[in-house]
Amino acid sequence: MIYLDNNATTRIDDEVLNAMLPYLKEAYGNASSIQHKLGRAANQAVEESRKSIAAYLGVSAKEIYFTSGATEAINMVLRGVFARYQSIGKHIITAKTEHKAVLSTLEKLEKQGAEISYLHVDASGNIDLKELESLIRKDSILITLMAANNETGVIHPIQQIGAIAAQYNVLFFSDTTQMIGKESLDLTHVDICCFSAHKLHGPKGIGGLYIKRKSRPIQIEPLITGGKQENSLRGGTYNTASIVGMGKAFEIAATNPSSIALLRDYFEIQITSSIEDCKIHAAKATRLCNTSNILFKHVRSNELMTVLKDVALSSGSACVSGDRDPSHVLTAMGIASEDALCSVRFSLSKYTNRQDLDETIQLIQQAVEKIRKNSPVWQLYKSNII
């Protein structure tokens, strides 16, 4: 199986797995039970991992908080900020291309009285900073915009966004899940960001938040209450082994910067030059080095992926992979619904090699040719009837 669905999840790194094993077998103590040796060993491992993550992000270890993943972190921030700041204002700004974890949570908050403004994006998926500034109101409490889009790879200018937010004293939260381990990240003007280990060759079920320490502390109502873990922001027993794995994944990402942009570019050139009516979405935008979202005209993505049995692909976010509707990201970019339904995401990793891509290209060529040959719609399209 050729795996090209790394924006959905990644293969765990062997070093990460090996770092985790002792905390599953020998040092299995509860990290909060510091009265005994096993608990202290687990606690030390948790704090060392916190330091590793902070070092990668260029922040203080005291600003890192652990969660079960990015979805929980997003819910914690959006719900928690609204709960604490709604007496000041109820206005939140986001974009139509955000991850469903953001959009669905904001829909819930609207029912609780939140007012949401949605930024438009252009044909390349870019936001307009002037529109962003124009949407800010006196009662705006939060701007939430991802660092990089999970479907198209389009990168937002989070430094500039954060500077605008700071100018108007509005909190800025960014989902940096797809950015980490692929591109450089500067959090100077970011108040809060979230991340998830399984997107950078770490374990599933663990993630976290960076919450900037400010002169006026950022207030977030806890989503999960219980013990006093994470300064009482997130209760529950520490998932020590997974936290250790995430720390190791961040360490590896810091010492082994991603170098797959050349492979991604090679793949796109070969695909577009060898397959008729094939287009890269957001081709001219600043994108993640590993991501290509490609339209194969009049070849439905679900049909293509069925034929490509030996290649793991996705038509978009894994969270909505069972959805038959066109991608909300692509339609927000002005792409016709039919074209959105004929688009496939390819996402590479450090384990992807040129042989994988050459084989994938050949398989796609054969699959597209087979599907189009049996497609009345394709024949009508080629005859200029539709």
Write the pLDDT tens digit of every residue in 71-83: 999 999 999 999 9
pLDDT for the residue 320: 54
CA-closest candidate to residue 17, choices 183, 197, 181 = 197
Task: Please give the CATH architecture assigned to the domain spanning 257-383.
Answer: Alpha-Beta Complex (3.90)
Q: Active-site positions? A: 319
Percent of the chain whose pLDDT exceeds 90: 91
What average pLDDT is seen over the chain? 96
For the stretch 12-30, pLDDT in tens is 999 999 999 999 999 999 9
What residue segments make up the domains of the chain, in order of their start?
14-254, 257-383
pLDDT grade, residue 319 (50/70/90)? low
pLDDT grade, residue 317 (50/70/90)? low
In degrees and rounded to multiples of 5, residue 191 shows phi and psi of -85, -40
- Residue 112 reports pLDDT greater than 90: yes
- Residue 384 reports pLDDT greater than 80: no
**Measured distance CA(152)–CA(125) in Å, rounded:** 8
Report the SS3 class of residue 65.
strand
Contacts 24+ apart (CB under 8 A), 184-187: 185/57, 185/147, 186/58, 186/158, 186/159, 187/57, 187/58, 187/59, 187/212
What distances in angstroms separate CA 172 from CA 1, 101, 104, 357, 359, one per listed residue?
40, 17, 19, 38, 43
For the stretch 26-64, pLDDT in tens is 999 999 998 999 999 999 999 999 999 999 999 999 999
Read off the pLDDT of each residue in 251-269 and give the average, rounded to a whole number: 92
* Contact residues for 50 (Cβ-Cβ < 8 A; gap 6+): 61, 64, 66, 243, 247
- Residue 323 reports pLDDT greater than 80: no
* Contact residues for 36 (Cβ-Cβ < 8 A; gap 6+): 29
pLDDT for the residue 333: 98
**Measured distance CA(149)–CA(94) in Å, rounded:** 13
pLDDT grade, residue 385 (50/70/90)? confident
pLDDT for the residue 62: 98
CA-closest candidate to residue 92, choices 132, 120, 149 = 132
Global confidence as pTM: 0.95
Instruction: Judge whether 14-254 and 257-383 match in fold.
Output: no
pLDDT grade, residue 259 (50/70/90)? confident
CB 26 within 8 A of CB 224: no
pLDDT grade, residue 215 (50/70/90)? confident
Parallel, antiparallel or unpaired: strands 140-144 and 115-119: unpaired
pLDDT grade, residue 154 (50/70/90)? very high
- Residue 191 reports pLDDT greater than 70: yes
What distances in angstroms separate CA 255 from CA 208, 248, 363, one per listed residue?
21, 11, 34
Task: Please give the CATH architecture assigned to the domain spanning 14-254.
Answer: 3-Layer(aba) Sandwich (3.40)
Parallel, antiparallel or unpaired: strands 2-3 and 115-119: unpaired
* Contact residues for 318 (Cβ-Cβ < 8 A; gap 6+): 5, 8, 9
Parallel, antiparallel or unpaired: strands 2-3 and 311-312: parallel
